[in-house]
Amino acid sequence: MSEIEENKPKPEPKPVEKKKPDPRKKLAKPDKMLILNSSPHLHTTKSVKSIMWSVVIALFPAMAMAIYYFGLPAVWMILTCVAAALGAEIIMNLMKGEKITIIDGSAIITGILLALTLPPSFRLTSAALGSIVAITLGKHIFGGLGYNIFNPALLGRAFLQASFPVAMTTWSNPITPKFENTDAISTATPLGSFKFEKIFTDYSDMLIGNIGGSLGETSAIAVLIGGIFLLILKNADWRIPVSILVTVTIFGSIFWMLNPAQYPDPLFHILSGGLLFGAFFMATDMVTSPITTKGAWIFGIGIGILVVIIRLFGGLPEGVMYSILLMNGATPLINRYTRPRIFGESKK
């Protein structure tokens, strides 16, 4: 007995103590259900990464048409802008001492979007400068992705527009049979030729993109395909492009009906310039557009009205960029005034 008594206490306490925590740990798993979390409780499978890469895929038709119409320079332009954007992103990440965020695709999108809004014959070094400005001043100065007030790509473009006003409005011909016999190496955009010379461009050419203009905005069909792909995936708020296009149609037709000789018809408004591209890819940027549904309508209507006003009465032929940037600036206000009432809160 003495042997057993002596032996027993020695080995027993240790294994018992060791074994006890194990079942507790297994029990602890269901206990986690009781941990209190603040909302949101429902999570989507979407991530920044998946949304961003879907935008890159949605931009493929526009990029393909850009390369088809403007050839190798378009390829170099896109590659330069993307490379400069990625480089700037890495440098800013290192300066801020944070994780390198080039994988999330946002810098690639900024690069592609900027490249597609530049004239085909634009200098590559200047394009790279625009890309760097877009990432550093447009995004990281404000704190990185999610904190920027203005769409980075458009900010980069606005910087280039102010820096190189002549180069930014020199449009070279698409390399298609239509332009083979012309002597001039540069052309005007449909908006420019209408504004300054009152010449209409053929709608079929504008639809497929056989016109002068920025790399990615000429082909309405390619932009529409990519845009609708984004809307089907619900990675862009459909209210924004719809409200922009409807507003431009209504507002544009009012002026057209008042004086058809002076003002272009609404279809011309929609097919020309960067309106479709801006409406589907720039205005729908999740960071810089309102988060409420009512706000999205106000945002889109505001852009539509500004576009028509700038195009018809401004000094510039095209106003999509400035319209979107202005409404970006108004987004925090729109968010504040369209905030839904908390359940049970009384009306004032």
Partner 1 sequence: MAKKKTSLYREFVKGLWDDNPVLRMLLGLCPALAVTNSAINGLAMGMATTFVLLSSSIIISLLRKVIPHQVRIAGYIVIIATFVTVADKFLAAFLPEISKSLGPYVPLIVVNCLILGRQEAFSSKNNVGRSILDALGMGTGFIFVLVVLGGIREILGSATLFNLQILGDWFNPWMIMILPPGAFLTLGILIGLGNWLNERKVKV
In angstroms, give the least distance from the CB of 163 to partner 1: 4
Q: Are 154 and 282 in contact (CB under 8 A)?
A: yes
Q: With CA atoms as reference, report the closest residue to 209 among 116, 317, 304.
A: 116
CB nearer to partner 1: pick between 13 and 165: 165
Contacts (Cβ under 8 Å, ≥6 apart) of 249: 266, 269, 270
Residue 48 is a binding residue for partner 1 (CB under 8 A): no
Q: Are 59 and 226 in contact (CB under 8 A)?
A: yes
Q: Which stretch binds partner 1 (CB under 8 A): 50-58, 157-165, 184-192, 200-208?
A: 157-165
User: Where on the phi/psi map is residue 71: left (φ > 0), alpha (ψ -120 to 50), or beta?
Assistant: left
Q: With CA atoms as reference, report the closest residue to 155 among 248, 285, 34.
A: 285
In angstroms, give the least distance from the CB of 148 to partner 1: 15
Q: Are 89 and 101 in contact (CB under 8 A)?
A: yes
Residue 208 is a binding residue for partner 1 (CB under 8 A): no
Residue 143 is a binding residue for partner 1 (CB under 8 A): no
Q: How many of the chain's residues bind partner 1 (CB under 8 A)?
A: 13
Q: Which stretch binds partner 1 (CB under 8 A): 41-49, 155-163, 307-315, 320-328?
A: 155-163
CB nearer to partner 1: pick between 140 and 269: 140
CB nearer to partner 1: pick between 141 and 257: 141
Interacting residue with partner 1 among 83, 129, 207, 246 (CB under 8 A): 129
User: Residues 106 to 125: which contact partner 1 by CB under 8 A?
Assistant: 123, 125
CB nearer to partner 1: pick between 96 and 336: 96
Residue 98 is a binding residue for partner 1 (CB under 8 A): no
CB nearer to partner 1: pick between 125 and 262: 125
Query: Maximum Cα–Cα distance for the chain, whole Å?
Result: 116
Residue 83, CA distances (Å) to 64, 80, 90, 129, 247 in order: 19, 5, 11, 11, 37
Interacting residue with partner 1 among 163, 182, 262, 293 (CB under 8 A): 163
Residue 286 is a binding residue for partner 1 (CB under 8 A): no
Residue 60 is a binding residue for partner 1 (CB under 8 A): no
CB nearer to partner 1: pick between 65 and 160: 160
CB nearer to partner 1: pick between 21 and 165: 165
Report d(CA 217, CA 77) in Å as an integer: 14
The secondary structure element, H or E, covering residue 130 is: helix 124-136
Residue 171, helix vs strand vs coil:
strand
Report d(CA 231, CA 225) in Å as an integer: 10
Q: How many residues does the chain have?
A: 348
Binding site for partner 1 (CB under 8 A): 95, 123, 125-126, 129, 137, 141, 159, 162-165, 167
